[in-house]
Amino acid sequence: MFKQQSGFTLVELVIVIVILGLLAATALPRFINITSDARLASVNGVAGGLRSAASLARAQVMVSGSNGGNLSMDGVTVVVNTSGYPIGNSTGIGAAMQGLDGYTTDYSGTPTTAVFTPSGGGTNCKVTYTATAGTATVASSGC
């Protein structure tokens, strides 16, 4: 008596491979775009952090009744302008917004603006902090 063999035929295996290839071809474009989506989310997160830091500094200035100068935020000295917002350099918004790993900062617009660009981001993927109004503007077309 012969045992009957069981398993997949070559045709069945080829069909499964073709189906897996089609699934991979349709799913791959979604995964390729994840890097730029993650970079954009990071830039938006930094913008939110900048806005929060500026608002906290302004609130502290308003509560203390001062009109600018130095204030202490979590033990760090932060220089603020007469409007109460951190100035656009490392002693202002750079001190108020700590932990910017993975970002390069351009303080050439000191004391009015600072630009934060993520590593690997294009020239149009950045956050611009404006000290006069304490705003953070996102440019995301190059993320």
Q: What is the pLDDT of residues 125-134, one digit of tens each?
A: 999 999 999 9
For residue 20 the two structure tokens come to 């897996």
- Taking 90 as the threshold, does the pLDDT of residue 120 lie above it? no
pLDDT at residue 54 in the model: 95
Q: What is the pLDDT of residues 7-55, one digit of tens each?
A: 778 898 999 999 999 988 888 777 777 888 888 999 999 999 999 999 9
Q: What is the pLDDT of residues 65-77, one digit of tens each?
A: 888 899 998 899 9
Q: Which of 129, 143, 139 is nearest to 49 (CA)?
A: 129
For residue 29 the two structure tokens come to 């474009």
Under 8 Å between Cβ of 91 and 97: no
Q: What angle do CA 47, 48, 49 make, to 5 degrees?
A: 90
Q: What is the dihedral of CA 20, 26, 28, 33, to 10 degrees?
A: -160
